[in-house]
Chain A
């Protein structure tokens, strides 16, 4: 489909609800045709940002620019954006086709043409046969597909998705998320996708913005977000981490599992001698069996969880702490529960945070 994509810019958006600051001067740019995922725990402001962009809410201050035009004062019904909600998206008294055609009907498109277009779009999302079905007779996944078709039927400048997969079963979630991405690329529409599921965000977004308490802590491509988190919050929210207690040594390094590691950028400022938690990814820990090995920290495998190609082992270190270690399942076969091991960090630098920062995620 040939179309020109539109860029979006959110400038200094601020929104408060009484004493609560939902958005604290948010600045965000979406490149034309890009899919940005806003990721964060409940209350971080991601949905507020989305609703401001949609026009369903008004900012206290700031501007919203779409395609170079300032649309801040334009009402929601005139913004030409497509939106998919978490649940109850569809109008229960209309069939799937009528739902999809709704935006066109409101724009006074003639009946035969709008129903034809609706049929096309339903085919596009794989629901050609469900044309005359009512929402109550559809599964959650089907309903969201129809909602998606309905949103793009009006050829919007921007597509907004408010946790569209959160109410669905796991398997449907992964299927649908890939379809949304496929469709988004095919149509080339600039998209803002809000979610609290970091796996989802990382899987489909061009860039991910991690939000916390009304602020955008980091906006980057998924790989960078994962490997080089800008703050301890981002480090703990994205992916799993082991928090290994350590102290800052005289030369500014920290000792983790028997090795001195450099402190990565984005860490908290901790003085020499101060206590810290080093955030170590499970895949950055290597295990070898204890006999013959000397460096690392000793421990015992206490349990294993099989995830298909990867197995996650829980290792109880002699010092008392539990470590999560990921390794390919073929190798994990040698590390059954009870195996005595030596654990070593396989990375050269690590993000550290204050030890009191225990409440990593607010949910």
Chain B
């Protein structure tokens, strides 16, 4: 509303027709201005997404069916959901723990120069993924990797047993490379907002470290940490490039299955199965995001 229309309303007088028309025109103009955005997202984002959801429930002849969804949660596809969830939960938990420890340690040192470096580095590492990341780890921990050879020299053969970089735990180790920095980025503001005064007041009132974290520190941090965990979960769950680069599809993960189906590596009549898998992914990530939103709202109030 411009200054003109505001003052008219404030006077308590019913706006004249001219003013009302101007207001309607303004509303139309606003909507028109936002139209490019809405149209663009509808075409390049909404349409593909809706297509996935619809086709998940259709067969080749465009009849409605639940067969795709049913198949997507059976046998090998069920396994891939389980593996994906396991990988996401493990990398999210480990990332949350290590990232929290790193951030806490960082703030403890109180060194501003170090903090700036860590913040920049975290931004950089959080965006590292795909082939470059996979190759970095292969260079370090692959069969002829630098670290592998160092460890061999002191008598430890990491490939002596059944472990391989290209399996579940290897992938987990690699995922941490972008999960930990993401945690640091997300949790740094929340940890920073922890006021020194709360800790000091608690100490002054007689609380031990344990009591402080139990009654004050812990509850305050719960929402940000839970939110961060969920973000890390969704991030890992959706990841494709890193998994593909490292395991080339040998590990059953949902994104990889979709990729195979898309590349035509499977029998033709399974095509719509990919959509069901995609739909499943959307559901899982959407649930995570929903919980994330719910946890953030309450905590935001406290920390105003």
Contacts and interface: CB of A to CB of B under 8 A. Distances in A.
Q: Are A and B in direct contact (Cβ within 8 Å)?
A: yes
A134 B204 contact: no
B203 A76 contact: yes
A69 interface: no
B198 A103 contact: no
B151 interface: no
A93 B205 contact: no
B286 interface: no
B206 A87 contact: no
Contacts of A54: 200, 204
Interface stretch (A77-85, A173-181, A190-198, A255-263): A77-85
A83 B198 CA distance: 11
A56 B211 CA distance: 17
A93 B216 contact: yes
Nearest to B196: A88
A105 interface: yes
Interface string B91-131: 00000000000000000000000000000000000000000
Interface string A149-164: 0110010000000000
A26 interface: no
B302 A93 contact: yes
A106 B204 contact: no
A107 interface: yes
Contact of B206 (A90, A92, A94, A103): A103
Nearest to A153: B205
A85 B219 CA distance: 22
Contact of A106 (B200, B206, B301): B206
A88 B208 contact: no
A9 to B, nearest CB: 20
Contacts of B215: 91, 94, 102, 105
Contacts of B205: 77, 82, 102-103, 106, 150-151, 154
Contacts of B219: 93
A94 B216 contact: yes
Given A77-B208, A85-B197, A102-B215, A91 B202 contact: yes
A136 B204 contact: no
The B interface, classified by DSSP as helix, strand, loop or mixed, is helix
Interface string A54-86: 111000000000000000000011111111010
B304 interface: yes
Given A78-B206, A106-B206, A106-B211, A92 B302 contact: yes
Contacts, number: 77
A78 to B, nearest CB: 7
B232 to A, nearest CB: 24
B289 to A, nearest CB: 24
Given A77-B203, A103-B205, A136 B216 contact: no
A50 to B, nearest CB: 11
Contacts of B201: 83, 85, 89-91, 147, 150
A91 B216 contact: yes
Interface residues of A, number: 32
B89 interface: no
B197 A136 contact: no
Contact of A88 (B195, B301, B302): B195
Contacts of B303: 92, 136
A151 B204 CA distance: 9
Contacts of B216: 91, 93-94
Nearest to B195: A88
B302 A76 contact: no
Given A106-B211, A136-B301, A91 B198 contact: yes
A93 B216 CA distance: 7
Given A93-B219, A94-B216, A88 B198 contact: yes
Q: Which of A80, A103, A107 has the most CB of B within 10 A?
A: A103
Contacts of B220: 91-93
Contacts of A78: 206
A136 B198 contact: no
B47 interface: no
B204 A56 contact: yes
Contact of A81 (B195, B204, B207, B304): B204
A151 B205 CA distance: 7
Interface string B187-230: 00000000101101111111110010001100110000000000
A181 to B, nearest CB: 21
Interface of B: 195, 197-198, 200-208, 211, 215-216, 219-220, 301-304
20 contacts: A76-B204, A77-B203, A77-B205, A82-B205, A83-B204, A90-B201, A91-B198, A91-B202, A91-B216, A92-B302, A92-B303, A93-B216, A102-B205, A102-B215, A106-B211, A107-B206, A134-B302, A136-B304, A147-B201, A154-B205
